[in-house]
Structure 1
Amino acid sequence: MREDRLEHKARFDLKVWKGLWRFVSHYRWHLLGLVFVMTLVGLLEATFPYLTKYAIDNFIVRKSLEGFWKFVVLYFGLVVLQALNTYLLVYLAWRIENGFTYELRNGLFSKLVDMPPAFFDRNQTGALISRVMSDVQRISTIMSWQVVDFVWAFSTMVFIVFYMLKLNWRLALFVILAIPPLALVSNFFHVRILKRFRLVRKLVADITGLFNEHLMGAKTVKTLAIEGRLESEFGTKAEELKRTAVAAAALSALYTPVVVFIGNLVTALILVAGGIGVSKGTVTLGTVIAAISYSIQFFEPVQQLARILAEVISAQASAERIVELLNAPVEISDDANGLELEIEGNVEFDNVTFGYVEGQEVLKNFNLKVRKGERLAIVGETGAGKTTIVSLLARFYEPTAGRILIDGVDYRRIKLSALRRQIGFVLQTPHLFNDTVAENIRYGKPDAKMEEIITAAKFVNAHDFILKLENGYETVVGEGGSKLSTGQRQLIALARIVLLNPKILVLDEATSSVDPYTEHLIQDAIYKLLHGRTSFVIAHRLSTIRNADRIIVIEHGKIVEEGNHEQLMKLRGKYYTLYMKQFVYEKESEILGEYKT
């Protein structure tokens, strides 16, 4: 299992959140509207206790109804306005949350599409999925509903302090003096909560990756009968997550009682001081009741701020993971003045050096020239560098030294889209999308008409079997083409290449896992497909490359033999040894197969 290499920062960092601003900027007017509405909500909530004080001192204590009905109309009007504000805040928060989620997921997907294969070698698929789905959802909640709560809490606290100072500055001091210890408590808790929630998010990503890996390898798991071991492994990881999450939640939960304790203490002090003031006649009853109400009300938004802080702290890890993914360098990108070159097919590797890991070179000072239309076969033991050569050709990776020239032009000067559009890959295990047969063929050319799709299918001998499918060309092939055989998937992949009409073709033994009849169909399609195109054929079964214009034998990243089939057989060197071993093996398999039959 690959380790997720994107590291998290050690401290809470506001810059991380600023890095997400561009995804919410499209909704800045909604956000400003939300801030205004929530400020108004805070003002009204702070106003109601002041109105209560007015009612007690002017109607209850005086036992008078003078101005009472005007007061009732004003109070009712504020209640209606508050109800309208509640509707607006819910509407605006939902718009921001869903819009932000849409923008951010699109941004992340675009980023991942642009990343080279090396990035996916270093980062686990499940962990990346976790970022795009659960991390984004967590952050979008912060950017909408937590903004609602924060603005409400902050504005309510400010207006409460304002009204309390207006009522009685001495009683207001009890609340104001409680703010510094609350700040110290918050600082103490937030560092520790952040550390634990970072670990929780990492474990969630690990479990997502583990889950994805086991599902993708379900058949292998069954054939090896290792279900029990995997269940144990998953259970151990899940148990670790549970313990860490509980510990993080316990620390976060401890925060609120501390705030409540300070709030109750302040309320008790106001009650005592206010009661003394009433007995001395220096404070009105309405003022004391309003002050107590404000004290209780003040610490409710404080608790909300504590909760928001805990939420933001716990989401900090998610924000870091997302921003680091967004800021991850695209190691392979277009030149600023990239060329839309129409390729002819001449290829040259000029002193190319490359290694997947620094200091471990797969190719060193590698040189190779392939002429337009030449059929080149690449032979060698596993790990010799065959796949590396064609991966560099498609610019999935770039040489650490040297150049690769296409028609005499350094291929780094050619636009990636132009380069890859003109290089067709036929892989040993082709990938089909969970879509119809027609759409899978059309992926190479999105604007292709149905007539072109059928022509391409006929060219590769796929038309007949497609018509026999349940819905013909409109048959959905399943995830990865699971509803089709390996040979059928290969033929559809070949039809896709025909539609793409590339100038350079790369084949990674397309017939190694199919029955003899399908192999014949595929070989016939490939033979027609190779005509007139520069081709690189990675050969696993040497009997399939006898007609290649040139064969090179790779060993430890270097060409050790070169020539056509007859020339290399006469040398009786590496190629001869490989060919004879495979020839004997194939004959033995053929004889044993006939014997079993």
Structure 2
Amino acid sequence: MENKKISGNLFDIKVLIRLFKFMMPYASKFYLLLFLTISVALLGPIRPYLIQKALDQYVANGNAKGLLIITVIISGILVTQVIFTYIHTYLSGWLGQHLIRDIRVKLYKHLVSLRIKFFDNTPIGQLVTRNVSDIETLAEVFSQGFAAMLADLLQIFFILGLMLYTDWKLTLVSLSTLPILIFCTYVFKEKIKVVFNNVRNAVSKLNTFVQEHITGMKIVQIFNSENREQTKFQNINKQHRDANIKSVLYYSIYFPVAEVIGASATGLLVWYGAQGVISESISVGVLISFIMYISMFFRPIRLIGDRFNTLQMGVVSSSRIFKLLDSSENIPDEGEIKSQHINGEIEFNNVSFAYKDDQYVLKNISFHVPAGQTLALVGATGAGKSSIINLLNRFYDIQDGEINVDRTNIKNYSLECLRENIGVVLQDIFLFSGSILDNITLGNSKISFEQVVKASKLVGAHSFIEQLPGQYNYEVMERGSTLSVGQRQLISFVRVLVYDPKIIVLDEATSSVDSHTEEMIQNAIAQLMSGRTAIVIAHRLATIQQADNILVLDKGEIKEAGNHSQLLAQDGHYKKLHEMQYKEKVRD
């Protein structure tokens, strides 16, 4: 998606309408901004006109009183223009920042509602670009693009009207170089538009590469791949540098050329106007006012190409943002049950599921877990064990079949109601940068510190937390890098315990800890599972021998089912796995 060039269309009405919908809460300030834009555009051209009148009517006739009055008027207009310009600049910036805040909040809210499948298929760096860089571009649209360009266009029309009203022949001479400037501006606009697209794509690639490789730095270093990855980064960074240098090149060519064209227009004006002054067909006041007009006229035209591209890139960024907002990859949250006490009975009826098209990872799966009982899932990697957990939490929706909790289809529960009753401990523990307390409560003010301590003692995490500097306020680095794997695992248990769910899911929850920590966790799990429904995924069969029921999965199908003793008696897949692990244990 990133490699496609999005040219954008400044007059994409649908995009502009959606952008201005975000303006509605600030309608009064927007209308004030429009008033100031028109006022600033009008006040500038009035000064040359009044200076012309002052020279031709009062200076030429020696009217000191009239000159004083018009001087006061010009000074008042100048002060008013300064004040209006200040308010205009501040208000456009204020409006832009409030708009991008609202858009960023809406975009982030949408992102957290998307199903996991979306994040499986979308680079994280690309999403960071959408939520940061693209939205910052919108700030430039409102603070520097839209309002400034409107002011420039209005000023051009006001100046042109005054020039034609004063002397149409002198106007034609003054604007004789305008077609050349317009042509140069158009070429500049088209060239810089392509460069801006390349810069945006390069930024997105940089964000994606840096995010992925910092996250996976351990793999880079384990496989001694620093130099190879550095070469890849240099190539991407080179693309970013070249795109920016090309934009600098176009700017360095365009603005001097535009300056020369403007200076040529002034030169022609002075040459022609001076002859008119000598022949007394043109007054000195008119000539001086035209010199001021021409300077004011060409300045916005020189900038209009840049303003246009700012607006255009804003439309491009808006299109990308709205495309993300329009993504239908979110889980439909239409369940009518918002809050309900769940006993924990789980039932899968003929469930089939595929992550992609018809590549089914679960095929006609059916099982029943009575409330308060424990179900264990075993099988080789890729057998479909984790997929069952993902479906129970509605991280993905099934293609066929039905999943029930307490004899009610899980789609009838709101996502919040469903997930607050299911506690999951994953093998890959993720901790956010922040305190241990924040990582346990996840910012939930309903969870008291006493509950956290109680749960920590139950799991056995309280003793090591007390030994840390700051104890529960100890700052955990990103992904919990300052803690051991076992410590992170214990914190994840505490995190589940404080939410007191009726269903517990353990996905290889003890595979990454030492035997002492595992024994401590097993004791905590035994207490935790009391009165709760549990689904346990484990490669170590010794940890699930007490389960009420065990499902043996292979290639998305249930091959065997029963308790530990029953499965050993069947002399099938489970017994082979058990014998294999027993031999490995003896060998160790």
TM range (shorter): over 0.9
Residue 88 of structure 1 aligns with which residue? 87
Identify if the C-alpha distance between structure 1 residues 295 and 444 changes in structure 2 by more than 3 Å, giving closer, same or farther: closer
Equivalent residue runs for 1:143-158 within 5 Å: 143-158=142-157
Tell me the TM-score normalised to structure 2 length. 0.92
Residue 241 of structure 2 aligns with which residue? 242
Q: Are the aligned partners of 1:445 and 1:500 in contact in 2 as well (CA < 8 Å)? A: no
Q: Are the aligned partners of 1:347 and 1:407 in contact in 2 as well (CA < 8 Å)? A: yes
Verify: 1:524 aligned to 2:516, yes or no.
no
**What CA RMSD, in Å, does the superposition of the two structures yield over aligned residues?**
2.5
Secondary structure of 1:552's partner? strand
Which amino acid in structure 2 is aligned with residue 519 of structure 1? E
Equivalent residue runs for 1:531-546 within 5 Å: 531-546=530-545
**Partners of 1:413 and 1:178 in 2: how far apart?**
71
Verify: 1:356 aligned to 2:389, yes or no.
no
User: Per-residue displacement from partner, 1:444-496 (whole Å, max 9, x unpaired)?
Assistant: 85312222222221222222222222222222222222222222222222122
**Partners of 2:2 and 2:539 in 1: how far apart?**
34
Identify if the C-alpha distance between structure 1 residues 338 and 262 changes in structure 2 by more than 3 Å, giving closer, same or farther: farther
Secondary structure of 2:64's partner? coil
**Partners of 2:8 and 2:86 in 1: how far apart?**
37
Identify if the C-alpha distance between structure 1 residues 336 and 283 changes in structure 2 by more than 3 Å, giving closer, same or farther: farther
Tell me the TM-score normalised to structure 1 length. 0.91
**Partners of 2:92 and 2:319 in 1: how far apart?**
23
Secondary structure of 1:351's partner? strand
Which amino acid in structure 1 is aligned with residue 297 of structure 2? F
Residue 162 of structure 1 aligns with which residue? 161
Q: Are the aligned partners of 1:5 and 1:122 in contact in 2 as well (CA < 8 Å)? A: no
**Partners of 2:253 and 2:584 in 1: how far apart?**
70
Q: Are the aligned partners of 2:371 and 2:533 in contact in 1 as well (CA < 8 Å)? A: yes
User: Per-residue displacement from partner, 1:218-262 (whole Å, max 9, x unpaired)?
Assistant: 222222221111111100111122223333443465554565565
Secondary structure of 2:117's partner? helix
Residue 482 of structure 2 aligns with which residue? 483
Q: How much does 1:60 deviate?
A: 4.3
Identify if the C-alpha distance between structure 1 residues 391 and 235 changes in structure 2 by more than 3 Å, giving closer, same or farther: same
Q: Are the aligned partners of 1:161 and 1:176 in contact in 2 as well (CA < 8 Å)? A: no
Identify if the C-alpha distance between structure 1 residues 474 and 285 changes in structure 2 by more than 3 Å, giving closer, same or farther: same
Residue 405 of structure 1 aligns with which residue? 404
Q: How much does 1:330 deviate?
A: 4.1
**Partners of 1:330 and 1:35 in 2: how far apart?**
39
Verify: 1:564 aligned to 2:528, yes or no.
no
Residue 100 of structure 2 aligns with which residue? 101
Secondary structure of 1:553's partner? strand
Verify: 1:289 aligned to 2:283, yes or no.
no
Residue 34 of structure 2 aligns with which residue? 35
Secondary structure of 2:476's partner? coil
Secondary structure of 1:331's partner? coil
Identify if the C-alpha distance between structure 1 residues 153 and 10 changes in structure 2 by more than 3 Å, giving closer, same or farther: closer
Residue 67 of structure 1 aligns with which residue? 66
Q: Are the aligned partners of 1:201 and 1:318 in contact in 2 as well (CA < 8 Å)? A: no
**Partners of 1:400 and 1:111 in 2: how far apart?**
24
Identify if the C-alpha distance between structure 1 residues 145 and 349 changes in structure 2 by more than 3 Å, giving closer, same or farther: same
**Partners of 1:261 and 1:461 in 2: how far apart?**
78
Residue 370 of structure 2 aligns with which residue? 371
Q: Are the aligned partners of 1:460 and 1:521 in contact in 2 as well (CA < 8 Å)? A: yes
Secondary structure of 2:156's partner? helix
Identify if the C-alpha distance between structure 1 residues 342 and 174 changes in structure 2 by more than 3 Å, giving closer, same or farther: farther
Unaligned 5+ residue runs, structure 1?
Answer: 590-597
Q: How much does 1:210 deviate?
A: 0.7
Which amino acid in structure 2 is aligned with residue 459 of structure 1? L
Which amino acid in structure 1 is aligned with residue 342 of structure 2? I
Residue 468 of structure 2 aligns with which residue? 469
**Partners of 1:558 and 1:252 in 2: how far apart?**
64
Q: Are the aligned partners of 2:338 and 2:416 in contact in 1 as well (CA < 8 Å)? A: no
Secondary structure of 1:19's partner? helix
Identify if the C-alpha distance between structure 1 residues 529 and 477 changes in structure 2 by more than 3 Å, giving closer, same or farther: same
Q: How much does 1:169 deviate?
A: 2.6
Secondary structure of 1:484's partner? coil
Identify if the C-alpha distance between structure 1 residues 6 and 563 changes in structure 2 by more than 3 Å, giving closer, same or farther: farther
Single out whichever of 161-170 and 439-448 deviates more from structure 2: 439-448
Equivalent residue runs for 1:206-245 within 5 Å: 206-245=205-244
Single out whichever of 480-489 and 562-571 deviates more from structure 2: 480-489
Which amino acid in structure 2 is aligned with residue 169 of structure 1? W
Residue 299 of structure 2 aligns with which residue? 300
**Partners of 1:250 and 1:130 in 2: how far apart?**
25
Residue 497 of structure 1 aligns with which residue? 496
Q: How much does 1:63 deviate?
A: 4.8
Residue 595 of structure 1 aligns with which residue? none
Residue 196 of structure 1 aligns with which residue? 195
**Partners of 1:358 and 1:259 in 2: how far apart?**
56
Q: How much does 1:7 deviate?
A: 6.4
Secondary structure of 1:424's partner? strand
Identify if the C-alpha distance between structure 1 residues 311 and 5 changes in structure 2 by more than 3 Å, giving closer, same or farther: closer
Residue 383 of structure 2 aligns with which residue? 384
Which amino acid in structure 1 is aligned with residue 156 of structure 2? M
Residue 594 of structure 1 aligns with which residue? none
Identify if the C-alpha distance between structure 1 residues 442 and 210 changes in structure 2 by more than 3 Å, giving closer, same or farther: same
**Partners of 1:554 and 1:259 in 2: how far apart?**
73
Secondary structure of 1:340's partner? coil
Secondary structure of 1:20's partner? helix
Identify if the C-alpha distance between structure 1 residues 377 and 245 changes in structure 2 by more than 3 Å, giving closer, same or farther: same
Aligned pairs, how many? Answer: 586
Secondary structure of 1:362's partner? strand
**Partners of 1:324 and 1:177 in 2: how far apart?**
45
Residue 459 of structure 1 aligns with which residue? 458
User: Per-residue displacement from partner, 1:289-332 (whole Å, max 9, x unpaired)?
Assistant: 32232123211111222210122234443322222222222430
Q: Are the aligned partners of 1:6 and 1:325 in contact in 2 as well (CA < 8 Å)? A: no
Q: How much does 1:192 deviate?
A: 4.6
Q: Are the aligned partners of 2:41 and 2:152 in contact in 1 as well (CA < 8 Å)? A: yes
Q: Are the aligned partners of 2:181 and 2:258 in contact in 1 as well (CA < 8 Å)? A: yes
**Partners of 1:134 and 1:360 in 2: how far apart?**
36
User: Per-residue displacement from partner, 1:316-349 (whole Å, max 9, x unpaired)?
Assistant: 4332222222222243021174553432222222
User: Per-residue displacement from partner, 1:371-424 (whole Å, max 9, x unpaired)?
Assistant: 222211111111111111110110000012222122222211210000011111
Residue 20 of structure 1 aligns with which residue? 19
Which amino acid in structure 2 is aligned with residue 163 of structure 1? L
Which amino acid in structure 2 is aligned with residue 335 of structure 1? E
